[in-house]
Amino acid sequence: MDSDVRTVTGKVLALLGAFTPSCPELTLSELSRRAGLSLATTHRRVAELVAWGALERGEDGRYRVGLRLWEVASLAPRGLGLREAAMPFLEDLYEVTHENVQLAVREGFELVFVERISGRRAVPVWTRVGGRFALHATGVGLALLAHAPAEVQEEVLAAPLRAYTDKTVTSPARLREMLDAVRRNGYAVSDGQVTTDAVSVAAPVRTDGAVIAAVSLVVHADGAQPAALAPLVQAAARGIARACGSPSGARVFPRAPVVSAATDRSRR
């Protein structure tokens, strides 16, 4: 008999949460172990998820996220609607630069990439659409964090900050100065903080005084001129902001929720 006291919904979510970018395919026993469920419970719930289309079973017997789940997830207003409104401006920015163009939103104490355009000659980046990343190191993250509620900023700066390279800023005092500069200048610069060969220049997308997203260019560090790229990124951000407004000027996308430390700490 399964002694797990979680609800059925909790067990299903645990199974879906077992999949990660590094583990996109799992066997039944791996799902059972990663979700913390008995093999019998895992078998029953996975069968239901496969029948609905949330999971798919390959010929090798391994399970992966199904298209039905992707279809539902794509309806998120800060994903699909934002991407549709932003795409013409992201494409224009790419055509002018032929560099990496990224769009991200804040989710709690992290950012989520909702779109990316990249060329063959662009510098390699870690961006994955739908992927999460820390706020303190990237251009889009700094732009979002600079305009996040004070309690979010304090929680991020109080937590251990990962150093991705020798240039990653992990000093809370220095980060506060950088966030002040973002608010003052209207754009953020991340120079070699994620990979040493890349510089990111980002600007916030603001509607009705609220920052709903951030757009960035990620270019090769050699010869990068952030101050020259900033007006291009800011123009794209303004265009996206206009496209996100209704005819009356009201916001059509929800603001990023303020997640308390207690509810979000498990994601760290």
Lowest mean pLDDT segment, chosen from 75-84, 94-103, 253-262: 253-262
Q: 122 pLDDT band (50/70/90 cuts)?
A: confident
Per residue in 158-204, pLDDT (tens digit) is 999 999 999 999 999 999 999 999 999 999 999 999 999 999 999 99
CATH number at residue 39: 1.10.10.10
Q: Is the pTM of this model over 0.75?
A: no
Farthest CA pair distance, the chain = 65
Contact 32, 38 (CB under 8 A): yes
The predicted model gives 2-21 an average pLDDT of 83
Q: Identify the domain boundary among 56, 72, 88.
A: 72
Quote the number of domains for the chain.
2
Q: Identify the domain boundary among 24, 55, 72.
A: 72
Is 98 within the bounds of a domain?
yes
Same domain, residue pair 118 and 222: yes
Per residue in 42-95, pLDDT (tens digit) is 999 999 999 999 999 998 999 998 888 877 876 765 555 788 889 999 999 999
Domain region containing 183: 77-267
Same domain, residue pair 50 and 103: no
The alpha carbon of residue 26 and the mean position of all alpha carbons in its chain are separated, in whole angstroms, by 23
Same domain, residue pair 113 and 41: no
Same domain, residue pair 43 and 125: no
Residue 268 has pLDDT above 70, yes or no: no
Is 3 within the bounds of a domain?
no
* Spatial separation of the C-alpha atoms in residues 60 and 145, rounded to whole Å: 43
Q: 1 pLDDT band (50/70/90 cuts)?
A: very low
Neighbours of 253 (CB within 10 A): 19
* Spatial separation of the C-alpha atoms in residues 167 and 149, rounded to whole Å: 26
Is 127 within the bounds of a domain?
yes
pLDDT at 3: 55
Is 150 within the bounds of a domain?
yes
pLDDT at 266: 41
61 torsion bin: left (phi>0), alpha (psi -120 to 50), beta (else):
left
Same domain, residue pair 60 and 85: no
The predicted model gives 136-158 an average pLDDT of 96
* Spatial separation of the C-alpha atoms in residues 79 and 228, rounded to whole Å: 29
Is 192 within the bounds of a domain?
yes
Phi, psi of 65 (to 5 degrees): -65, 135
Read off the amino acid at residue 105: V
Question: What mean pLDDT, rounded, does the chain reach?
Answer: 86
- Terminal C-alpha separation, the chain: 32
CATH number at residue 196: 3.30.450.40
* Spatial separation of the C-alpha atoms in residues 227 and 16, rounded to whole Å: 43
Element (H or E) spanning 181, and its range?
helix 172-185
Q: Identify the domain boundary among 17, 41, 72.
A: 72
The predicted model gives 205-210 an average pLDDT of 90
Same domain, residue pair 139 and 244: yes
Residue 262 has pLDDT above 80, yes or no: no
Residue 265 has pLDDT above 50, yes or no: no
Same domain, residue pair 157 and 219: yes
Same domain, residue pair 26 and 82: no
pLDDT at 227: 94
Phi, psi of 251 (to 5 degrees): -70, 140
Neighbours of 17 (CB within 10 A): 10
Residue 146 has pLDDT above 80, yes or no: yes
Same domain, residue pair 26 and 67: yes
- Structure tokens given for 6: 């979680």
Residue 247 has pLDDT above 80, yes or no: no
Same domain, residue pair 141 and 112: yes
Query: What letter would DSSP give residue 19?
Result: -
Same domain, residue pair 110 and 51: no
Is 203 within the bounds of a domain?
yes
